[in-house]
């Protein structure tokens, strides 16, 4: 028996997806705070649209990951192959611009890797706005 298709697009990032993301984080690193993620991600989720859920989940990763940005990104990168392609991967990819604009080299390398699992088309935009020449130079390589 297969799971029924979600009734609404936003349901692709519902409670089941949060559990999958939490499991990916736990499998990726013992430093991932599963309970912290699930609490933060679940809080207020029901009222959000799909893209609001993407941003909400990205922000919910923050308390579950190490404070050191490169260490956090290493875990996010290790999570990506464990997720379903699509919105689950896009949600963790969104962590990069929301928390990594000050570390452009680490962030752009992460986006280059993460885009294989879920599009980084939204995640790259803040980098293009903040540092267009540097971002385009990295993208051209």
d(Cα 17, Cα 136) in Å, to the nearest integer?
Answer: 33
> For 27-75, what is each residue's pLDDT tens digit?
999 999 999 999 999 999 999 999 999 999 999 999 999 999 999 999 9
Q: Each residue of 84-141: pLDDT tens digit?
A: 888 899 999 999 999 999 999 999 999 999 999 988 999 999 999 999 999 999 888 8
Q: Is residue 3 part of a domain?
A: no
State the total domains in the chain.
Answer: 1
**Residue 124, both tokens:** 């790259």
**pLDDT at site 54:** 95
CA dist., res. 17 & res. 11, Å (int): 9
3 DSSP 8-state letter: P
Distance CA 115, CA 113 (A): 6
Q: What is the pLDDT of residue 139?
A: 86
Domain assignment present for residue 36? The answer is yes
pLDDT the model gives residue 5: 57
pTM: 0.89
Q: Hey, what's the torsion of the CAs at 129, 134, 140, 141, to 10 degrees?
A: -140
Helix ranges restricted to H, 1-141: 15-28, 34-42, 50-61, 69-79, 87-93, 95-99, 104-114, 125-130, 132-140
29 in a structural domain: yes
Domain range for 130 is 10-140
- Residue 92 falls inside a structural domain: yes
Instruction: State the pLDDT at residue 39.
Output: 98
- For 3, 42, 44, 57, 108, the CA distances from 15, given in Å and listed in that order, are 14, 7, 11, 11, 29
pLDDT band per the 50, 70, 90 thresholds, residue 8:
confident
Q: Which residue has the higher pLDDT, 62 or 11?
A: 62
1 located within any domain: no
């Amino acid at each position: 028996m297969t799971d029924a298709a979600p009734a609404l697009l936003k349901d692709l990032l519902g409670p089941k997806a949060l559990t999958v993301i939490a499991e990916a984080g736990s499998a990726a690193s013992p430093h991932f705070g599963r309970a912290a993620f699930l609490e933060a991600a679940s809080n207020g989720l029901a009222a959000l649209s799909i893209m609001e859920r993407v941003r909400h989940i990205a922000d919910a990763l923050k308390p579950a990951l190490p404070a050191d940005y490169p260490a956090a990104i290493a875990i996010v990168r290790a999570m990506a192959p464990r997720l379903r392609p699509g919105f689950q991967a896009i949600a963790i990819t969104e962590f990069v611009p929301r928390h990594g604009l000050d570390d452009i080299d680490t962030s752009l390398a992460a986006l280059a890797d993460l885009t294989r699992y879920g599009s980084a088309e939204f995640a790259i935009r803040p980098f293009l706005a903040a540092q267009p020449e540097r971002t385009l130079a990295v993208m051209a390589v």
